[in-house]
């Protein structure tokens, strides 16, 4: 790429970004202006990709972790031929535009992940880089390397300050992800002003300590950046951080270098002067360099040819490795390679749902070889151990990932694994620590990624660990996130079905909330309960006539409800297991009323807050305060969660 074309491309990025943000009267011009040269080199030289085939398996991935600078990405996708038009750019930040305020996964080809919450993109990139090593180890052969590419990310000072990026970077160094390259837009500016207000650490020393290769350069030294990327690619055993000194808002004659360019339009006068300095008519709008357009048209053909050569290699691999090809097809389609051999349980058998989940997980892992995942240093308590060796720098085929005490990064990395394709991630911790991973779970839901969250120790029944570890508000808070499906199975059989439902889901994340304490496997009145449960609820204990009272309960409280119903002989009491409250609530009225008739009195019971049960139950028995330290059953009794209390409510 000729340096003159780099400049023409960079100036186009600047013009499109300034004009789009000014027209919208909203946006962040600082990063697009400051990093325009890097963007030109990324899409003009560094990235191996094919705009005509955005989902190409072996493409390099690029993540704009500093997602507020979205016009940087939109401008380059427009030039590169990803289907973002000038009209799309002119409608930046407007309803329905492909060019949303921050990059949104699925809204336009070439956007690899939703970014904006700072640091998430760095952790997503770690997940993508991990996925590349996993897929390469599983499907490459000595003769045919069908997976062999790099993952790039662009991060700013804000990303470097977020804890999730630190967690993920620490793990990436430990895992020796040599094909991960992160550019650091080192402009010493955040929204409040210069970074020395709060951020004076030695970032290079920190990343060196993590086990990264760290290099420093200048954002505007084109040949220097080329050399730095070449050196990064040459180091196969360390991820690379390329720190590039830059000027935020570069080219804005009176505002460059100021925090004022971070998140506000530059203004018509400033933009006119910036264009004049670039040799562009000050009144020209949405200017695109003809030379840059011509270059990228030629570049598209070269990239397509490279992709075509890979397709030949891929065809040869499929011929030589039909069994591997069949497995890859199944992995990319999210299908099992065999029927799962689900564990069976007997009525009356006592087992914690976390233990039943562990057995179901092994069945899932055998049937879906693409399943990968692990726990945030709680493998034993979560019961999430997989067979075989764990994933590591020397065992890239391992399915079990040890995340360490890094809940937030674990979930965000899981998003990266899901985004890659061909892998189905799960992650695990205690339910109470969902607070640590919630931002990434929200992005799982927003991007419709089928990540599975195994969250154990689901209530005050965990006992002696006390209120810091006893979830009370967590079920309600997770159900409040749109597109998150929360499953709280009531016995071992329901737990197996919860896993089946989770593996069937392709349009969003599933939370499986599990007990530490043993629960009995109970007889189900609905003989088609596995099918009915997919409506969110089914009848466990029925009555010969129309019920006077219907008790809706989830998880461990279904057993409580069954015992309470036996203590109210004078009433006709139906007990319903609500495996997924939000799914049940979303059903048409006629389905809900088949299970919980309108004329019956509805009592709900759950070891948590009542939020979410309103409008569906007439009265509720739960826990509206923090827990206590003591044996689980004693804590529950102290908080009023007893058979007698529920029986009294039923009988009221």
User: What pLDDT sits at residue 89?
Assistant: 98
Task: Check whether residue 467 and residue 556 sit in a common domain.
Answer: no
**For residues 451 and 411, is the Cβ–Cβ distance under 8 A?**
yes
Segment 21-36 mean pLDDT: 98
Task: Tell me how far apart the 2 most distant CA atoms of the chain are, in Å.
Answer: 89
Domain match, 485 and 536 both: no
CB atoms within 10 A of CB 321: 18
pLDDT digits (tens, 9 = 90+) for 194-250: 999 999 999 999 999 999 999 999 999 999 999 999 999 999 999 999 999 999 999
User: Are 219 and 154 within 8 A, CB to CB?
Assistant: no
The answer as to whether 340 is a domain residue is no
Give the model confidence (pLDDT) of 616-647 as tens digits: 999 999 999 999 999 999 999 999 999 999 99
Q: Let me know whether 494 and 370 are in one domain.
A: yes
Q: Are 76 and 215 within one domain?
A: yes
**Is 317 among the domain residues?**
no
Q: Which listed residue (8, 112, 132, 407) is catalytic? A: 407
Q: H or E element: which one contains 130?
A: helix 120-139
How many Cβ atoms sit within 10 Å of the Cβ of residue 223?
9
Question: Is residue 359 in a domain?
Answer: yes
Which of 303, 337, 364 finishes a domain?
A: 303
Give the model's pLDDT for residue 70.
98
Instruction: Verify whether residue 494 is a known catalytic residue.
Output: no
Identify the CATH number of the domain in which residue 611 sits.
3.40.50.920
Q: Do 397 and 269 belong together in one domain?
A: no
Helix (H) or strand (E) run with residue 249 in it: none
- Say if residues 108 and 38 touch (Cβ distance below 8 Å): no
Same domain, 470 and 587: no
> Rounded CA gap, 148 and 138, in Å?
12
For Cα atoms 349, 350, 356, give the angle at the middle one, nearest 5 degrees.
Answer: 95
- pTM value is 0.98
Q: Which residues contact 596 (CB under 8 A, 6 or more apart)?
A: 537, 550, 552, 574, 576, 602, 616
Same domain, 169 and 91: yes
Residues 512 and 580 in one domain: no
| 3-class state of residue 621 by DSSP | strand
Domain containing residue 559:
531-651
% the chain with pLDDT above 70? 100
- Out of 479, 500, 520, a domain closes at 520
Here the tokens at position 393 are: 């720098």
Please check whether residues 506 and 560 belong to one and the same domain.
Answer: no
Please check whether residue 419 is in contact with residue 128, taking contact to mean a CB–CB distance below 8 angstroms.
yes
How many Å apart are CA 430 and CA 432, to the nearest integer?
A: 5
Tell how far CA 159 is from the center of its chain: 17
Q: Is residue 343 part of a domain?
A: no
Residue 512 sits in a domain of what CATH number? Answer: 3.40.50.970
Which pairing describes strands 151-156 and 61-64: parallel, antiparallel, or unpaired?
parallel
pLDDT band at 166 (very low <50, low <70, confident <90, very high): very high
How many domains would you assign to the chain?
3
Cβ contacts of 557 within 8 Å, gap of 6 or more: 490, 605, 606, 607, 641
How wide is the angle at C-alpha 561 spanned by C-alphas 556 and 564, nearest 5°?
A: 135
For residues 511 and 536, state if they share a domain.
no
C-alpha to C-alpha distance for 60 and 46, rounded to whole angstroms: 9
Averaged pLDDT score across all residues of the chain: 98
The answer to the question of residue 101 being in a domain is yes
Instruction: Mark whether 161 and 264 lie in a shared domain.
Output: yes
End of a domain among 483, 498, 520? 520
Regarding whether 366 and 278 lie in a shared domain, the answer is no
Q: Which residues pair with 590 in a beta bridge?
A: none
- Does residue 189 form part of some domain? yes
Q: Flag whether 183 is in a domain.
A: yes
DSSP labels, 445-489:
HHHT---EEEEE--SGGGGGG-TTT--SSHHHHHHTSTTPEEE--
pLDDT value for 329: 98
Q: Could you tell me if residue 335 is inside a domain?
A: no
**Token match 């804890």: residue?**
163
What digits encode the pLDDT tens for the residues 504-526? 999 999 999 999 999 999 999 99
Q: What pLDDT is stored for residue 623 in this prediction?
A: 98
pLDDT, residue 42, reads 98
| Confidence band for 579, pLDDT divided at 50, 70 and 90 | very high
In the numeric block, the tokens 């203004």 are attached to 267
């Amino acid at each position: 790429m000729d340096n003159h074309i780099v400049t023409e491309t960079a100036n186009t990025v600047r013009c499109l970004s300034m004009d789009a943000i000014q027209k919208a009267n909203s946006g962040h011009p600082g990063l697009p202006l400051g990093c325009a040269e890097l963007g030109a080199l990324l899409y003009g030289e560094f990235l191996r990709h094919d705009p005509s085939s955005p989902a190409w398996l072996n493409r390099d991935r690029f993540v704009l972790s500093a997602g507020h600078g979205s016009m940087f990405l939109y401008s380059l996708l427009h030039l590169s031929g990803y289907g973002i038009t000038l009209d799309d750019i002119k409608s930046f930040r407007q309803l329905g535009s492909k060019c949303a305020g921050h990059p949104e996964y699925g809204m336009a080809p070439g956007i690899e992940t939703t970014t904006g919450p700072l640091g998430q993109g760095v952790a997503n990139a770690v997940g993508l880089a991990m996925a590349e090593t996993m897929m390469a180890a599983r499907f490459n052969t000595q003769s045919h390397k069908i997976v062999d590419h790099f993952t790039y990310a662009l991060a700013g000072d804000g990303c470097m300050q977020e804890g999730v990026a630190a967690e993920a970077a620490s793990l990436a160094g430990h895992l020796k992800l040599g094909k991960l390259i992160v550019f650091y837009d080192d402009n010493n500016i955040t929204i409040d002003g210069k970074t020395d207000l709060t951020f004076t650490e030695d970032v290079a020393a920190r990343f060196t300590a993590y086990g990264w290769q760290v290099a420093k350069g200048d954002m505007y030294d084109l040949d220097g950046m080329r050399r730095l990327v070449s050196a990064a690619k040459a180091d196969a055993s360390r991820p690379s951080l390329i720190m590039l000194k830059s000027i935020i808002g570069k080219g804005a004659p009176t505002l460059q270098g100021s925090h004022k360019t971070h998140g506000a339009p530059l203004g018509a006068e400033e933009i006119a002067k910036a264009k004049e300095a670039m040799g562009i008519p000050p009144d020209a709008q949405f200017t695109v360099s003809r030379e840059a357009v011509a270059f990228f048209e030629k570049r598209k053909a070269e990239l397509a040819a490279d992709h075509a050569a890979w397709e030949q290699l891929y065809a040869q691999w499929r011929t030589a490795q039909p069994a591997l090809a069949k497995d890859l097809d199944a992995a990319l389609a999210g299908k099992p390679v065999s029927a799962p051999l689900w564990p069976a349980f007997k009525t009356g058998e006592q087992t914690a749902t976390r233990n039943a989940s562990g057995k179901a997980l092994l069945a899932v892992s055998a049937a879906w070889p693409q399943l990968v995942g692990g726990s945030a240093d709680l493998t034993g308590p979560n019961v999430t151990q997989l067979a075989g060796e764990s994933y590591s720098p020397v065992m890239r085929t391992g399915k079990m990932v040890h995340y360490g005490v890094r809940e937030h990064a674990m979930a965000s990395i899981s998003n990266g694994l899901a985004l890659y394709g061909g892998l189905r991630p799960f992650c695990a911790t205690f339910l109470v620590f969902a607070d640590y991973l919630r931002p990434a779970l929200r992005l799982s839901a927003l991007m419709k990624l089928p990540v599975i969250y195994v969250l154990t120790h689901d209530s005050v029944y965990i006992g002696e660990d006390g209120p810091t570890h006893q979830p009370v508000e967590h079920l309600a808070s997770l159900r409040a996130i749109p597109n998150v499906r929360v499953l709280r199975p009531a016995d071992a059989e329901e737990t197996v079905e919860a896993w089946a439902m989770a593996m069937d889901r392709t349009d969003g994340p599933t939370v499986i909330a599990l007990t530490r304490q043993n629960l009995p496997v109970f007889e189900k009145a609905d003989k088609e309960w596995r099918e009915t449960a997919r409506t969110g609820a089914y009848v466990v204990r029925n009555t010969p006539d129309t019920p006077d009272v219907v008790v809706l309960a989830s998880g461990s409280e279904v057993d409580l409800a069954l015992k309470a119903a036996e203590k109210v002989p004078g009433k006709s009491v139906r007990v319903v297991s609500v495996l997924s409250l939000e799914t049940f609530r979303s059903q048409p009225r006629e389905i809900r009323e088949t299970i919980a008739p309108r004329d019956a009195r509805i009592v709900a019971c759950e070891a948590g807050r009542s939020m979410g049960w309103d409008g569906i139950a007439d009265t509720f028995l739960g826990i509206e305060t923090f827990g206590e330290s003591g044996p689980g059953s004693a804590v529950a009794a102290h908080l009023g969660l007893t058979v007698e209390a529920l029986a009294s409510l039923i009988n009221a």
